[in-house]
Every structure is written in C-alpha cells, then in structure tokens.
Chain A
C-alpha cells in the first residue's frame, strides 16, 4: 500500500512542479499585460494632455478675443503643457521687439539678445536655446535661481512673417520628446492662422465697403447720365420745335397787329353806320338795324377786343416758351466770363423781390472768400431765380428761405433751403424731367428745373435735391471754381 502512495507522491511532486511552472508563466503573462496596460495608460494620458492643449488653443482661435489676449492665453497654455516655470511673449515688428509681457515670474526678466531670435526669423520654426549659450549674466542668474536651463522659442507667423515670439523657460528636470514641441508649433500655426483670417476679414470688409461706395457712385453717375441724355434729346427737340414754331408765330403776331388796326377802323365805321341807320327808312337799313338789335354789334366789337387781348396773351406765352426752349438748346452763344456768385445771387434777389417780399423771410449766409466762377452769370441767375420762385410758390403760408454759399476745396457750393411743404419721393424722382410739373394748367411749363439742370451741367457742376414732406426742400448746387 505504501508503495502505491510512494508512486502517487512522486506523481504529485511532478504535478506540483508543472503547476508552479504554469504559475510562473501565468505570472509573467500577467506582469507583461500590466506593463502593457500601464504603457497604454501613460500613452493615453499623454494624448489626452496633448488634445486638451490643442483643444484649448483651438477654442482660443474660435473665441477670437483679439491678438494680445489670444497670444497671452496661448503662451499660458503652452507653459502649462510643457510644465514650464515661467514664460514671456513679445510682439515683433520689422525685426524689433515692440511689447513684451512675462507670465509666472515676479522679477524683471532681461530681454533676450535679438540674435537668439535669428533662427526663427528664417525658415526654422520653434527652436530650443541653452540659457548658458546666450551669455547674459542677469538672465542666467534668474534662470539658475528658478532651476531653468533652457528656453523654447515658439514663433507665431502671419503671412510668413514672425509677428510674435513666445519664450517658454523649461526647468532642468523636465524632459520630453520633440513631438511635444511639434504640438506647440502646430498650436502656434493655429494662432497664426487666426491672425491671417482676421486680416483677410478686415481686407474683405474694406473691399466690400469700397465696392458698395463704387456701386453708389456708379448709380449716381448712371442717374446723371440718364438725365444728361434726356436733356440732350430735349435740346435737339427744342431746337427743332423752336425753329418750326418761331416762323408761324412770327407772322401770326405780325398779322395780329395789322388785324387789331383793321378792327379799330371797322369799329369806327360800324359806329357811324349805326348812326346813319337810325335815321334811314330804307329796307336794307331796316334789315341791318334788325341784325344789330338781335346780335348787338357794339357788344361784338367789345368782345372782339377782349378776344384779341386773350389771343395776344396766349401768343406772348407761346413766344416765351419758345424763347425758353431756345435758351435751353442754345447755351453757348454768349461768351463765358468770370463772375462772383454772391453778387449774382444779390442781383437775382432784387429781380424777384416783388414776388417774395410778402411771403418769405430770407436768410443769407455768404462765404465772402468765394473765388470767381467762370461761366454765364445770366444763366446761373436764371437757375437761382427758378429756385427762389419755386420755393415761394410751394409755400402755403409764410416761410423761410436760407441761402448759403461756401467753398470746399475746388468746389463752390450753393444751398437754397426752404421751409415749404416738401415733396414726396415720387416727385423728387422726376423733378428734373422736362415738362414735369406739379403746378396747375397754365401755371407752369415744367421746363424751369430741367433748364436749370442743363445750365448747371453745362457749367461742369451738379445739382441735387433733398426734400422731406412737411419739412422743406434743399437744392444743393456745386460748381467748379473758375481758373
């Protein structure tokens, strides 16, 4: 029996040895698994730290809190990421340090010699410099005190130029792979990208506002062109119409004088005939008397005079319109001369004063240093007269007219502002169109302002209108100074 157990004991010993061997193998396996897990954990923690850092910088670029704050926070984040003691960021302009700020150090940190920056100005990105190699005693003393032995220089570049340098001062005890510094550089690129984006946005905004203002100018030029075109067409039309109407009007008016004389003769003749008929018994005389009784020859002659007066008036108006049309088409007949605008205004006021005096209070504000204008004084006076008469006619009750002249660079500006009823947008749009009028039939021809427009244009100037209903209207005329 004991032999049997002796055999079993030997087997058990073998089995135990096998079990121990197995245990050793398993222990080794477990240990290597733990090592691998620890390694993976460390890797993960490093990756997390990196991604936290990159995320923080990415957030910075999105918040876009301005250059100074973004750079300060980037420096701070990089300092924490690298485990640095203190840091500094400097803004660079044309190779010179403009502003510097230190983080995490209470005492003054002397500036690095510019040579230290040289590397990163070229094609290099971040670089690490040993403090001892810089040969700066005070800097070395401060670094030694803080156990710092090297500084990482991280440039921020915008459009290929270094705009900022971040100095991260690293303690002797810290050691890391160069990939870590690569991350800092990548983050620096992001900040640089943000700066470029900001600059591009600014450019874009500037371009946009330039385009907008060009567009506005273009629109204005187009409107002026359209108006000029209208005036040119009107000019041709006017010349034709004036020529065609002038001849018939000429002989109608001439004949009208003769007709008036003939009627006077006939009137006298019929008066005497009446007296003769009154004492005649003749049949014909009786028939004539019957016509006189029925038609009232005396009344007819009186009415003929009235009709002739009305016709005369109508003809004069036609003549006036034709004259206006002619002045519109003509323009350059008189010789242009230098004249003073203020005097021209004064003279015009005198002419129209009768129409203004009961309704209008006039305020004049003249720039006495105005240079002379080269042009046709009479035509400019016609424009001013038009403005003043229009203003007075637009006043339902009494009102004010402000006349202002001033020089601005090579331009003389004349502003005529009234406190009349103003105009709606629909009227303003057409105000310079020929034959457009808001006045009643027989009150206006609708030529005044379009003629004014043509005159100002011929003088190389511009005329603009601003109006608000119930407030008033301003005409702004700008003329170039004479040579």
Chain B
C-alpha cells in the first residue's frame, strides 16, 4: 500500500479525532513502520488493515462504516494531494470508465511497484452502470466510500446496490450504480 494512503488516514483521524487518538492507534496496532509514512514509499498491506481496525475500535464504530467514511474522505484527499491529475473529468461515470486505462496506468508509471486494484465500469445508460472491483486487499467498503466521495465532488447523488461481494465468497465485487446530477 502506498504511503499516501496512510497519510490520508492520519489526516482523516486528525480531522475526526485528534493527534492523541492517532498516536494511540499506531501504538496499539504495533505496525512495523511505527507510523512513519512517506508518500512515495510502499508499505505492507496488513498495516492499513491493522490501523483501520484499531481506529474503529478506538472510535467505537463498526469497521465497515469506518472504511466507508475513510473512502469518502480519501477521494477528496487524493484529488487535492495525489500525484495524478484527476481534474479533467466532468462526472463520476467518466472517471470510472478511465480509472484503469488512464489513472492507474499513471500510478504505475510513477510507482512501478505499486499494486492497484482492478475497476471496470460498464455504462447501461447515461446515469446507470455496472461496476466490477477486484483487489487482493478486498477493501470494497473503501471503494464504496470513494464512489460516494466522487459523486459528492461532481455534485451528483449516487445509489449503490452491492450485488456481489468478495467477503460473501464472490470472486469479484459488483455494484449496480445510479448517478444523478444534483441541481447546481
């Protein structure tokens, strides 16, 4: 997992709690990096899982909700601080359509050893479509949060039907998605 995601998580904790909480989460989760995260460096996937689990326990919220919230936060964080230019898309659908072929390809170019999840969006019509997700990290809740964050960014509402889930034994996660443009 890229260091920038850990930076986002730290920022998320500081925004929703405080530095002492973050210190405690690091301390208690006993991660190998001891919480020292640099944006361009790759860290073990297990660290994000440990940190997220510990954080939800500290804040007394279910892990799924925590991950969804973090996902939503992560989208705007990456929009503002990420190394990839994302401002060229007008709506969440176009972004999803180009996610693998353009955005993740750019990530690979900057960080050849980065592991990127697989996204495939097939539009049904202008507003609806089917999204397929696969990652060895199985962070589909973060993906849902990211979708919400994206819709929010483009002034859209989004309704998600998580029809297949890797946590339920499916080989991939699938959503039926409907985006609606909110009045400007």
Contacts and interface: CB of A to CB of B under 8 A. Distances in A.
B23 A19 contact: no
Closest 4 A/B residue pairs (Cβ): A14-B36, A18-B38, A4-B19, A4-B20
Nearest to A5: B19
Contact of A1 (B20, B22, B26): B20
Most buried by A among B22, B38, B41: B38
Nearest to A7: B23
A4 B23 contact: yes
Interface residues of B, number: 14
A15 interface: yes
A14 B35 CA distance: 10
Interface string B12-44: 000000111011001000000011111111000
Given A1-B20, A4-B19, A5-B19, A11 B35 contact: yes
Contact of A22 (B35, B36, B41): B41
Contacts of B40: 19, 22, 26
Interface in A1-57: 1, 4-5, 7-8, 11, 14-16, 18-19, 22, 26
B112 to A, nearest CB: 11
A5 B19 CA distance: 7
B19 to A, nearest CB: 4
Interface string B32-70: 001111111100000000000000000000000000000
16 contacts: A4-B18, A8-B19, A8-B22, A8-B23, A11-B26, A11-B34, A11-B35, A15-B36, A15-B37, A15-B38, A18-B38, A19-B38, A19-B39, A22-B38, A22-B40, A26-B40
A2 to B, nearest CB: 10
Contacts of B36: 11, 14-15, 18
A48 B37 CA distance: 49
Contacts of A16: 38
Say whether chain B's binding surface is mostly helix, strand, loop, or mixed: loop
Contacts of A8: 19, 22-23
A20 to B, nearest CB: 9
Contacts of A18: 36, 38, 41
Interface in A231-249: none
Interface of A: 1, 4-5, 7-8, 11, 14-16, 18-19, 22, 26
A7 B36 CA distance: 11
A139 to B, nearest CB: 61
A7 to B, nearest CB: 5
Contacts of B38: 15-16, 18-19, 22
Contacts, number: 32
A16 B36 CA distance: 9
Contacts of B34: 11, 14
Max chain A C-beta neighbours (<10 A), residue from B18, B35, B39: B35
Contacts of A4: 18-20, 23
A4 B26 CA distance: 12
Interface in B96-136: none
Contacts of A5: 19
B69 to A, nearest CB: 22
A390 B33 CA distance: 129
Contacts of B23: 4, 7-8
Nearest to B24: A4
A7 B25 CA distance: 13
A424 to B, nearest CB: 87
Contacts of A19: 38-40
Nearest to B27: A7
B58 to A, nearest CB: 14
Nearest to B35: A11
A56 B38 CA distance: 57
A16 B39 CA distance: 10
Contacts of B20: 1, 4
Contacts of A11: 26, 34-36
B12 to A, nearest CB: 15
B111 to A, nearest CB: 11
Given A1-B19, A11-B34, A14-B36, 14 more contacts: A1-B20, A4-B23, A7-B19, A7-B23, A8-B19, A11-B26, A15-B36, A16-B38, A18-B38, A19-B38, A19-B39, A19-B40, A22-B40, A22-B41
A8 to B, nearest CB: 5
Contacts of B35: 11
Contacts of B18: 4
Contacts of A22: 38, 40-41
A25 to B, nearest CB: 10
A364 B13 CA distance: 135
A5 B35 CA distance: 13
Nearest to B6: A15
A291 B145 CA distance: 159
A8 B39 CA distance: 16
Contacts of B37: 15
Contacts of B39: 19
A360 B103 CA distance: 112
A80 B104 CA distance: 51
A11 B37 CA distance: 8
B15 to A, nearest CB: 14
A11 B7 CA distance: 12
B113 to A, nearest CB: 12
B177 to A, nearest CB: 37
A7 B18 CA distance: 13
Contacts of A7: 19, 23
B11 to A, nearest CB: 12
